[in-house]
C-alpha cells in the first residue's frame, strides 16, 4: 500500500450527473499516463460531500470495474452520518477495495472519544483496513500523537492521510509509528514530507501532474534533494496557477486538453468563464 495515490477526480455532466465514460477515461489516464500506484476514491477531489450515497456507490463500482486489479484502491467512506459511513464501508469492501479511509467527523465539535468511536464503529463492521483522513484546516479536528496512538490500538487502523502543514507533528508521528502508513496530503509540500520519511502521498494534482510527483518522491528517497527541489518548484508554480484560476475546474480543463472527458464540477461549484477556460488551456500548454 506504499506509493503515490491519485485523489480521483470524477467527471460530471452539465446537470451534475455522473459521466461514466468520462470517469473511466480519468481512471485510465491516471493508470496509463500518470502511472500512479493507486487511486483514492470518493475523497474531496471527487466532490464527495456534494453527492448522494447511491452516487458514491456508483463511483466505487465504476472505478473497481475499470481498474480490476491493476492498481491499489482506497475507498474514502467518511461521513458525518455514521450509518452511511458503515454502509459505504461494507459496499466498498464487498467490491474488493484494498483499504478504507474516513475523514474525521466534522461540523459538530466532536470530542476525541466520539471520534474514536466513529473509527472503531466503521472498521469493526467490516473485514478491511482503515486509513484515517486527517485534514484539520477543513474539519477543525486536530489530534495529538497520543490520540493517534489510541486510534492505532485498533490493529485494523493501519495509517493516516496527513493533510496538514504541521511538520513537527509529522516528524513526531513518523518517529512514534514506524510501522504505520503515513501518506502526505499536501501536493505542494510533497518534498518536505518525503524527506521526513512518509510512505507515500495522496494528491489531487496527481490527476495531471503524477509524473512530476513521482520524480519528487523518488529523488527524495535517493537523497537527491537539490534535483527534487527543482521539480517541486515547477510543481508549486503549477499549483499556484491552478489555484488562482479555480482548483478543480482548472484541473478538469487541463485533463480535457489532454483528451480526457473530465466533464464539469457539481454545483454549487461554478463553471469557469470563457476567460478562465482560456487561462486553463494556457496552463496546460505552459507545463506540458
- 273: annotated binding-site residue? no
Any known ligand binding at 45? yes
Distance, CA of 280 to CA of 59 (rounded, Å): 26
- pLDDT, mean over the chain: 97
Cα Rg, the chain, nearest whole Å:
18
Q: Is the pLDDT of residue 79 over 90?
A: yes
- What confidence score (pLDDT) does residue 106 get? 94
By annotation, the residues acting in catalysis are 133, 161
Of the pLDDT bands very low, low, confident and very high (cuts 50, 70, 90), residue 203 is very high
Q: What is the pLDDT of residues 229-278, one digit of tens each?
A: 999 999 999 999 999 999 999 999 999 999 999 999 999 999 999 999 99
Query: CB-based burial of residue 52 (10 Å sphere; 0-12 exposed, 13-18 middle, 19+ buried)?
Result: exposed
How far is the C-alpha of 94 from the C-alpha of 110, rounded, in Å? Answer: 30
Percentage of residues of the chain with pLDDT beyond 70 = 100
Residue 140 has pLDDT above 90, yes or no: no
Alpha helices in 68-159 (DSSP H): 82-95, 112-123, 136-139, 145-152
CATH of domain 3-224: 3.20.20.70
Start-to-end C-alpha separation, the chain: 29
188 a known binding residue?
Answer: yes
Residue 141 has pLDDT above 90, yes or no: no
Q: Is this structure's pTM higher than 0.95? A: yes
Please report where in the chains the cell 483528451 appears, as a residue: 259
Confidence band for 193, pLDDT divided at 50, 70 and 90: very high
Amino acid at each position: 500500500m506504499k506509493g503515490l495515490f491519485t485523489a480521483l477526480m470524477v467527471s460530471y455532466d452539465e446537470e451534475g450527473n455522473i459521466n461514466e465514460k468520462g470517469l473511466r477515461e480519468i481512471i485510465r489516464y491516471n493508470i496509463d499516463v500518470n502511472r500512479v500506484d493507486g487511486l483514492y476514491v470518493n475523497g474531496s477531489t471527487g466532490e464527495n460531500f456534494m453527492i448522494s450515497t447511491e452516487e458514491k456507490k456508483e463511483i466505487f463500482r465504476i472505478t473497481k470495474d475499470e481498474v480490476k486489479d491493476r492498481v491499489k484502491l482506497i475507498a474514502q467512506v467518511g461521513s458525518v452520518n455514521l450509518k452511511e459511513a458503515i454502509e459505504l464501508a461494507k459496499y466498498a469492501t464487498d467490491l474488493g477495495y484494498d483499504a478504507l479511509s474516513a475523514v474525521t467527523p466534522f461540523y459538530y465539535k466532536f470530542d476525541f472519544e466520539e471520534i474514536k468511536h466513529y473509527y472503531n464503529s466503521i472498521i469493526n463492521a467490516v473485514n478491511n483496513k482503515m486509513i484515517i483522513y486527517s485534514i484539520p484546516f477543513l474539519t477543525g479536528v486536530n489530534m495529538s500523537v497520543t490520540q493517534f496512538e489510541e486510534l492505532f490500538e485498533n490493529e485494523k487502523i493501519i495509517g493516516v492521510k496527513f493533510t496538514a502543514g504541521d511538520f513537527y507533528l509529522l516528524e513526531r508521528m513518523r518517529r512514534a509509528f514506524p510501522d504505520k502508513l503515513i501518506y502526505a496530503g499536501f501536493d505542494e509540500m510533497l518534498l518536505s514530507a518525503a524527506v521526513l520519511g512518509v510512505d507515500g502521498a495522496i494528491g489531487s494534482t496527481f490527476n495531471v501532474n503524477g509524473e512530476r510527483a513521482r520524480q519528487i518522491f523518488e529523488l527524495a528517497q535517493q537523497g537527491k534533494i537539490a534535483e527534487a527541489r527543482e521539480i517541486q518548484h515547477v510543481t508549486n508554480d503549477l499549483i499556484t496557477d491552478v489555484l488562482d484560476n479555480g482548483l478543480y475546474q482548472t484541473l478538469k480543463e487541463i485533463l480535457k486538453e489532454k483528451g480526457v472527458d473530465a466533464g464539469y464540477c457539481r454545483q454549487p461549484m461554478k463553471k469557469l468563464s470563457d476567460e478562465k477556460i482560456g487561462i486553463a488551456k494556457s496552463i496546460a500548454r505552459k507545463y506540458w
